[in-house]
Structure 1
Amino acid sequence: MPSHKQIRVILLKNKTVPIDKYESECKCRAFEPVFIPLIKHTHVTEDFKGVLDSIPNYLETINYIIITSQRTVESLNESIIPTLTSQQKSTLFSKTVYTVGPATADFIKRSGFLDIRGGRDAGNGSVLADMIINDLTSDTVTQPLNELLFLVGEIRRDIIPKKLFEKGIKVREVVTYKTENLDDNFVRFKNVVKSQDEDERSLNWVVVFSPQGTKEITQYLSVKDHLLNARIRIASIGPTTKKYLDENNIASDVVSPKPDSKSLLDAIESYKRQ
């Protein structure tokens, strides 16, 4: 049983399987991770198959793919790649893939892709877009640039395609998954917070990864009495989430400089030492 003084880290995300690096990193540092899933994901294969069916030899005509979500990789692995021919799989895995964060980069590598760029060096979409522009507009590029394939979720931000479009780089966005909010997000969150009060733990962290599915939770957290009673601190993953929390009158005690478990836990430990 964990001690009453062990810090509990409430992660507002679906637990990644088979390994969730946030869980592993928390346990390595004697924090107790608690996952509260807020959304469910459904794979979408029609758009990808539609592109392959409507554009002859499409995979042969592109050299670069953008993947910024582990959900996209899951959709590829579970619903799209199994439908491809051996030749199509080989062609797909030969493409250069640009991605955000080390966790997604590792996931892509395990899927079979060979040339992965960005990852740890690209902490958000804006940085990744700048990296792509620098790579593809340099004099050393030898591969023909037709367009980039951007595999996305149904809900996404347009930072990357907008930046690339401004530099004359074409991007084709293809939806690979959709997300829906779960019905009982706030009830489950409040139950966890209530149990913290009863345990009289010294400090608890709520980690916000994305605005989606958090409306009632952020309304609750914006009431300072609740924060005081529950002894909660807020951590946000990246500047976009911080901005969302700011707009909802919630101050982030820490902002993870990169979207990965080590950066987050480093930031939390630095806060503890203040």
Structure 2
Amino acid sequence: MPPILLLKTKSSPHDGYDDFFSANDYTPSFIPVLEHRFHTENLAHVRELFASGAFDSNATDNPNGPKYGGMIFTSQRAVEGFAEMIGQHGLPLNPSTNLPLYTVGPATARSLTTLRNKHLPSCSIHGEDTGTGEKLAHHMLQHYNALHPDADPNPSLLFLVGEQRRDIIPKTLMDPSLPDDQRIPVEEIVVYETGEMGSFEGDFRSAVQGSGEGVLWVVVFSPSGCEAMLRVLGLGPFAGNGNGDGGGDGRKVFVATIGPTTRDHLRSKFGFEPHLCAEKPSPEGGWGGDTEVYGGTGAVD
């Protein structure tokens, strides 16, 4: 099988991509692109919200119902930061509190399920099959409003985010064109920062040079690191510059993206068309039901 380089940090304790590729006789290599720093003060504030009864409909200081009716997680980093805060300081919570936890994509849902089972057993998880923030937002408009048919306004949703994020979810849920009783207030709290690792380009170059000859697959998970990736491979605007380690010796290099956001970034900024875009942001999504996709020597041209 051809080597596969996954441009992401390997998730802990289990990584769905590692499990999936290994089960299909591949040995994927993980090249971390991003480093994450948790906002401990903001995470402490989230804990204070739970301690104050802001999520508890039975709290004596909430005569009009809870301030928050649920939470939104669209990244594993947000789940990890929340889990780390709980692990260090605990989470004051009425055991009967049943909060909907909304997520997008199976990988984040798996991390959230582990956290829920350990710390929030009465909560429920929704949206894991939506795949994009826009689809998740429309799912929430139906599901969350059905949970609060008589509320006007709805209790807010707390959205734990990184400092770099798209605003499609808050814009969709708080769209002024929606009826007042259908609009869902969203409060965002930044719980982590993300930056490209200074060592990424060198680490990636070493991995490419050590991957042998023949077919090579590179799977990209976010716009971060795309320029360095193309530069190392000598693809897109860097083709023919003589410095690439990808195709100059005749080897076939294929680039796959986990979802349309990264694909569109490669198209618009670098004029590069990835060979494959996953139908869903999941390990299975890139295969399209065909386990020969990554093994071929041109199946996705």
Q: Shorter chain as normaliser: what TM range? A: 0.7 to 0.9
> Is contact 1:26–1:265 with CA below 8 Å preserved after alignment?
no
Instruction: Please tell me whether residue 66 in structure 1 is matched to residue 81 in structure 2.
Output: no
Q: Residue 255 of structure 2: which of 234, 253, 256 is its match? A: 234
> Is contact 2:49–2:55 with CA below 8 Å preserved after alignment?
no
Q: Per-residue deviation at 1:52?
A: 5.6
Instruction: Please tell me whether residue 10 in structure 1 is matched to residue 5 in structure 2.
Output: yes
Q: What is the rounded CA distance, in whole Å, between the counterparts of 2:104 and 2:148 in structure 1? A: 22
Q: What is the rounded CA distance, in whole Å, between the counterparts of 1:169 and 1:90 in structure 2? A: 25
> Is contact 1:81–1:89 with CA below 8 Å preserved after alignment?
no
Q: Residue 107 of structure 1: which of 107, 111, 127 is its match? A: 111
Matches within 5 A, 1:136-175: 136-138=144-146, 141-142=148-149, 144=151, 145-166=154-175, 167=178, 168-175=183-190
Q: Per-residue deviation at 1:251?
A: 1.1
Distance change >3 Å, CA 82–CA 116, structure 1 → 2: same
Q: What is the rounded CA distance, in whole Å, between the counterparts of 1:268 and 1:160 in structure 2? A: 33
1:63 is aligned with what amino acid?
A: G
Partner of 2:280: 258
Q: Per-residue deviation at 1:106?
A: 1.7
Instruction: Please tell me whether residue 243 in structure 1 is matched to residue 264 in structure 2.
Output: yes
Q: Which has the higher helix share?
A: 1
| Bigger radius of gyration among the two | 2
Partner of 1:269: 292
> Is contact 1:154–1:177 with CA below 8 Å preserved after alignment?
yes
Partner of 2:63: none
Deviations 1:68-114 (A, max 9, x none): 111111111112454245x427477x310110111211211111243
Q: Pairwise CA RMSD of aligned residues?
A: 2.4
Q: What is the rounded CA distance, in whole Å, between the counterparts of 2:96 and 2:207 in structure 1? A: 47
- TM-score in terms of structure 1 length: 0.86
Partner of 1:57: 53
Distance change >3 Å, CA 53–CA 192, structure 1 → 2: closer
Q: What is the rounded CA distance, in whole Å, between the counterparts of 2:171 and 2:157 in structure 1? A: 13
Q: What is the rounded CA distance, in whole Å, between the counterparts of 1:78 and 1:22 in structure 2? A: 23
SS at structure 2 position matched to 1:169: coil
SS at structure 1 position matched to 2:127: strand
Instruction: Please tell me whether residue 180 in structure 1 is matched to residue 185 in structure 2.
Output: no
Q: What is the rounded CA distance, in whole Å, between the counterparts of 2:49 and 2:150 in structure 1? A: 23
Instruction: Please tell me whether residue 221 in structure 1 is matched to residue 235 in structure 2.
Output: yes
Q: What is the rounded CA distance, in whole Å, between the counterparts of 2:192 and 2:150 in structure 1? A: 29
Count of aligned residue pairs for this structure pair: 262
Distance change >3 Å, CA 169–CA 195, structure 1 → 2: same
Deviations 1:150-187 (A, max 9, x none): 01112111111111111432100011211122112111
Q: Per-residue deviation at 1:54?
A: 7.5
1:181 is aligned with what amino acid?
A: E
Partner of 1:204: 216
Partner of 1:3: none
Q: What is the rounded CA distance, in whole Å, between the counterparts of 2:107 and 2:271 in structure 1? A: 30
SS at structure 2 position matched to 1:174: strand
Identity over aligned pairs, percent: 32
Q: Structure 1 stretch 145-154 or stretch 221-230: which is displaced more?
A: 221-230
Q: Structure 1 stretch 140-149 or stretch 204-213: which is displaced more?
A: 140-149
In structure 1, runs of 5+ residues without a counterpart are 1-5
Q: Per-residue deviation at 1:254?
A: 0.7
In structure 2, runs of 5+ residues without a counterpart are 57-65
For CA contacts below 8 A with separation 6 or more, give which structure has more relative contact order.
1
Q: What is the rounded CA distance, in whole Å, between the counterparts of 2:127 and 2:150 in structure 1? A: 19
Q: Residue 141 of structure 2: which of 126, 133, 147 is its match? A: 133
Q: What is the rounded CA distance, in whole Å, between the counterparts of 1:89 and 1:43 in structure 2? A: 26
